[in-house]
Structure 1
C-alpha cells in the first residue's frame, strides 16, 4: 500500500451524533484511565524500589503493568477525543498503529500470564529446584520470549493488513481493530485470515491451555500436601488466577464485540468496547496489591518511610 493510501481518512460511526451524554462517558473514561495509569505506575515503582520484590514473580508482574499501560493508552485517549469531537475520524496509518498496540497488548498479556503461571508451577510443584530453574538468566530469556513473539507476530500481521486495497472507509466501531480494517478491503485475503487464526492459536489459545495445565498440576500436587501448604499455595496463586480469568472474560467480550455485528445501544457499545482496555489494566494492580501479602507489606513500609521523612522535614521547617 502506498504512502498516500495510508493517509486516507477513516470515519467512525459507532459514536453517533454529539450529545450531552458524551461528556458523562468522557468523564468516566478519563477517571478510570487515570486511576489505571496511577495504579500501574505505583505498582511498578513499589517493585522497582523494594529489593525484596526483585524476584521472578514480581518482575513478570512489572511487565504485566507495562502491558496494561500500553493497552489502555492505545485506545482511551483516542476515544475521549472522539467523544468530544463533532467528527470522528482517523487516518489509516494512525488506525494501523492503534491496531498494532492493541494486539500487542492482548497477545502480550497472555504470554506474560503464561510465564507467571509457569513460575507458580515451579514454585509449588518443584520448590527445592525453584532457584536452580528460575535463574536470572532464565527470567531474562522468558521476558525476551514473551516480548519478542507478540511484537514480531503483530508487526507482520499489521504489515499484511496494510497491503490490502481499501474500498470502504467507514468503521462501525469505537476504535480500530484488525478485523475492522480487513473488512474495508476490496478483496478477501486467505493469507491474512489464515495468519490471523495462527496468531490467535499461537498467542492466545496455546498460552491459555498452558495456564490451565499448570493449574491442574498445581492442584494435583497441592491436594497431596498439608493444609498449611495448601493455604500457602492458594494465597500465592489466587491473584494470578483471578487476573487470568478477568482478562480471559474481557477478551471474550472483545471477540463477541468484534466478530458479531450486534446492533446495540450506543451506551452498551461504548462500555463493551472499553471493557477490554480499561478494566483489566485497572484491576490487575489492585488485585495483586490487595491479595499479595508481600506487596501489601512493601506498600505499608513505603508509606511509613514517607511519614517519617515528612515528620523530619517538619522539624527543620
Structure 2
C-alpha cells in the first residue's frame, strides 16, 4: 500500500525532529511512531555516535505493547547491523511494529538491508518515498557515503583575463560587495574552509563567514590550513571561533581525517596553489569562479599547473550556471560525467 497523507505528515515531523541531532559522521535521523488509528504515539531522533538510533529512541518512550500494530515513519531505512547499538530493524520487529515507511535507502554496505529484513518478518514496508525534506536533510551525508570523502567546492576570484592579483600582489578587492557576500554565504554553508600557508602568510585571512555588517555568521566553517610552513601565533586564523586544523600536502589524507571528524562539505578558496592542487588531484566536485570585469595582465594567474601539457589533456568541466552578482559574474561548474567525456 502506498504512503498515506497521515504518514506524509508524520514524515515531515520526523524530518523536523531529526534536526535535533548533531550532524557529523552519523546521519541525522528522525522517527515517528503512529498508532493504527494514525495518532502520534512517540517520536525520536539520533543524538550522536554510540547513542540509540531514532527508531529505538522513539520506541523507548513507549511502554508494554504500545507499539504492537503501529507504524514507524523514518527518514532513513532502519539499519540492519550491530555496531555500538543493535539493528533497528530487529528492534522494530521485536516491538511488534506492523508497518514501516522510510524515505531514503541506507547506502551503507554493512547497515543496508533493513527493509528486506522487515519484510521477511512479515512487516509491511513502504520503501524509498524520497520525501524532499528527508532528501535535503541527508543530502550532504549521502554525498560523503558516495564519494568516500567530504564534498569539495573549489572557489577563486579572478579578473576577466584570469588573474588573481595585480603584479604587486594586491588582490583586495577584485570582486565587488555582491560577490563577496555570496562567498560568505557559501562559507557559512560549509563545514570546513581551506587555505594554503602561502595565503595565510601573505594575506592573513580570518577564514570566517561574515554578515553584510561585518559581524560573524552563526554558522562557522572549521579553518583548515594546507602546507608545512608554521602558522604564526598572531595570525588572524588562530582567532577563528573554531580551532584551526593544519595538514601537510597529502590532500587525500586531509580529507580522510576531515571525514572522520564529521565534515561533509569543504570550501577551498585560499590561493592558486591549493586550488590547483585540488583540481590536479581530481578532488573538486564543484568549481565556483567569480569573474570581475577588469583586466590586470601579468603573471599572477588564478590557477597554476594542472599537469596539462597539450590541449587534448585539458580538464573540461560541465557549465552548470552563470549568475550576475552586481558587476561581477559567478560561473558554477561540475566535473563531467563519464558519459560526457
TM-score above 0.5: no
More helix by share: 1
RCO higher in structure (CA 8 A, sep ≥6): 1
Structure 2 length normalisation: TM-score?
0.21
Higher strand share: 2
For the pair shown, which has the larger CA radius of gyration, 1 or 2?
2
